[in-house]
Structure 1
């Protein structure tokens, strides 16, 4: 039977976490800003997100980048970030995966040894440097939108756990940055189920107790991610982290926007300085490097501009068919949807 819609994607992984870059098949989205286009996508075409992210074509931590026309006059490419749990104003590992796909499939003009791009994202304009060697994107680094410590030392009572203290920080998404050692939580793959369960409980408690709203972009609201940290396992790393994304999956990468949020927190506490390199390790041992470039101000809060670097690999190119007659056409999940943000 002929498909009603066809989507073409280029898939990559960044530090073990997937990005599905959608390069054709998308509808024309309305809006004068990328945030408006994201909201239009969410309202009118969310079935495309679930088709591409959910099973049987995706899985509980599938993530993606929709390539669209930019709105910002300085931007080269517009992008909307999607995942199993919904929409993201900004995503670091997806930015690295997207730019790797754009370079290595020839979708943009490439200059060696350095290709520069400006991405129009719902969170703002993001400048990207791509180190290219013989057509391969060796490393992608991006200057993120301003990151900031939102609330320090927030203590909430978590069901089944008790009092938990964390820092709430923004790096493109809101994070509850939580010391795993204080919870007796070892950040290893064998503990994945416990890590997710603990994070979901913490996220729910925070969203019930604390109003979390971006001071300059009120469409960004609610705590979405929980970022546990502990001592590093890999030589050269400064901190090991594990980020739980909505509705309840573990980021395999060190998490780009989570690294920005961590840097903002460390800087606000006087634990890192401008220009000091910071190496972030993931639960699977992959690494991102982050640096605070400068201070900034965001909606009346002290913020920092950070630069995050990592690498991605192409894993495949896919043609995905949509058949409305298929009773599972819009996909399904075997985990509960997140309803607490």
Structure 2
């Protein structure tokens, strides 16, 4: 801000918001740590208030000209009910192109590093973090809208985060809600690759948000994820999501047993269990856990936003689904790739079942450990110049009337 004043002089700049940008396997996290308006109440109440009163700020920070359609953000919330009770060290609200997520694994991985590195003015409880000398790591609890996440951040001797080792978090209780569910597709919800089929079969699982998990070949794509036509898969996933949301008979697939705010379909995760990175992910595995292979996924979430990372919440959901199906046991881990990590051999997440939890449901609940790496990309102060009408709320070019991408 001060540097900008030196360049442009006495021009009126308003509403400065300070941000740090990071990426987790290429998926951005814009961490908003100063300048966001005050929010009150529980974290879910703060989420609702952000939507009703300050959504223009979300658009300003996520959309053009400061961001783009696939930008992702995290708003630090130091005052939540779990922070007040000592059950969490920091709260956070997650933002995307449509609104506010209930869970985000890639952002949690980035936030782990950022919070360990942040000074006391940003993270008042930072000096009280638990340090585990046996693994040279800090432990912190992050309060996200779906519940608390236990985050482990490797540290250097100087007390800062270690970028050479992965951050991990323990998921909220995760569980499958529908296995091999038949989804009828009336004419308005079909896509060309289906041919004359009138239904598809998919699975549903929860990892802090609800995911519909479907094989690429089941959608009609014979090349699966080895030969991706993003535009066509975007259309198919959008149609499938609309079909699920319009069918009351499928509401059980996205019904959270406790919290109504979680009960909606967040994402379509298109998977290919045959596609591996081929870079020897298992060779560098020092966890001591039994490795149970690899798979690749393409995640469309929110308003058809594409995740560059393997999607941490979906890793928890997919591990819970595999456990439900008897394909993954406690103590086994699996590597999950996005298109980016599969093509480059860099940045795959690993997921493992840490424990089976007691549950009154017929479906088993598990706690999942998700591991991945995040890195800093920059920092900036977002401002609004007094006469800048476009920059105040931001825009998405392809959403303007008569524009399509």
The two structures share one fold, judged by TM-score above 0.5: yes
Looking at structure 2, the residues matched to 56 and 188 of structure 1 have their Cα atoms a distance apart, in angstroms, of 33
Choose 1 or 2 for highest CA Rg: 2
Shift of 1:165: 1.2
Is the CA contact (8 Å cut-off) linking 1:148 and 1:264 kept in structure 2? yes
For structure 1, which segment, 320-329 or 4-13, has the greater mean C-alpha deviation from structure 2 after superposition? 320-329
Q: What is the CA deviation profile of residues 13-32 of structure 1, one whole-angstrom value per residue up to 9, with x for unaligned ones?
A: 0011000010101111111x
Inter-CA distance 153–324: structure 2 relative to 1 (3 Å threshold):
farther
Structure 2 residue 93 is matched with structure 1 residue 55: no
Which has the larger helix fraction?
2
Match of 1:141 among 168, 177, 197: 168
Other structure's SS at 2:21 match = strand
- CA RMSD of the aligned region, Å? 2.0
Which has the larger strand fraction?
1
Match of 2:271 among 213, 224, 229: 229
| TM-score normalized by the length of structure 2 | 0.78
Shift of 1:222: 1.9
Shift of 1:335: 4.5
| TM-score normalized by the length of structure 1 | 0.92
Partner of 1:87: 100
Structure 2 residue 215 is matched with structure 1 residue 159: no
Aligned ranges for residues 100-179 of structure 1 at < 5 Å? 100-106=113-119, 107=123, 108-109=126-127, 113-133=136-156, 135=160, 136-137=162-163, 138-156=165-183, 157=185, 158-160=189-191, 161=194, 162=197, 163-179=199-215
Other structure's SS at 1:133 match = coil
Aligned residue-pair number: 336
Q: What is the CA deviation profile of residues 234-273 of structure 1, one whole-angstrom value per residue up to 9, with x for unaligned ones?
A: 1335111111112112111000000001011111111110
Q: What is the CA deviation profile of residues 177-208 of structure 1, one whole-angstrom value per residue up to 9, with x for unaligned ones?
A: 00112322532585222222221111111111
Other structure's SS at 1:8 match = strand
Looking at structure 2, the residues matched to 288 and 120 of structure 1 have their Cα atoms a distance apart, in angstroms, of 21
Looking at structure 2, the residues matched to 299 and 120 of structure 1 have their Cα atoms a distance apart, in angstroms, of 24
Match of 2:52 among 33, 43, 47: 43
Structure 2 residue 208 is matched with structure 1 residue 181: no
Q: What is the CA deviation profile of residues 31-87 of structure 1, one whole-angstrom value per residue up to 9, with x for unaligned ones?
A: 1x2112111111111111111111111112111111112320221111111111211
Q: Which ranges in structure 2 are unaligned for 5 or more consecutive residues?
A: 1-10, 282-292, 342-346, 401-405
Partner of 1:317: 379
For structure 1, which segment, 312-321 or 218-227, has the greater mean C-alpha deviation from structure 2 after superposition? 218-227
Aligned ranges for residues 73-84 of structure 1 at < 5 Å? 73=85, 74-84=87-97
For structure 1, which segment, 304-313 or 243-252, has the greater mean C-alpha deviation from structure 2 after superposition? 243-252
Shift of 1:97: 1.1
